[in-house]
């Protein structure tokens, strides 16, 4: 399950939707799944959107309060979806966003990823 942003207003700004239902669905998923099956949450780390340590700490804190999540992974942003938007004649907001610096990304991964196994 993708978990893009913890802040409701920022989530709305970047995705067009508030995150109330997403957080609720993650909580329902967590309540309905029992280990050892578990589940994984992933956050695509986008420079200028959710790559600051305060945001990632808040997201990691939310995830650590869940009972049945097996892992919380950070994945690096990549602009590969841009061609899909162009083919659909849609504006792609991340045309000018470069991928995250590998060294910076590895630091964030080491600080905020969670694994229960």
Distance CA(95)–CA(37), nearest Å, equals 38
pLDDT digits (tens, 9 = 90+) for 55-78: 999 999 999 999 999 999 999 998
- pLDDT band at residue 84 using 50, 70 and 90 as cut-offs: confident
Tokens of 104: 């910076």
Distance CA(51)–CA(45), nearest Å, equals 6
- pLDDT band at residue 85 using 50, 70 and 90 as cut-offs: confident
């Amino acid at each position: 399950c993708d978990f893009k942003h913890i802040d409701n207003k920022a989530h709305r700004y970047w995705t067009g939707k508030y995150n109330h239902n997403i957080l609720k669905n993650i909580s329902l998923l967590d309540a309905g799944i029992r280990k050892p099956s578990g589940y994984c949450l992933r956050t695509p780390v986008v420079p200028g959107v959710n790559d600051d340590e305060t945001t990632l700490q808040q997201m990691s804190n939310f995830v650590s309060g869940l009972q049945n999540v097996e892992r919380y992974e950070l994945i690096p942003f990549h602009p590969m979806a841009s061609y899909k938007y162009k083919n659909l004649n849609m504006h792609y907001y991340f045309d000018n966003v470069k991928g995250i610096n590998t060294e910076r990304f590895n630091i964030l991964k080491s600080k905020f990823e969670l694994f229960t196994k």
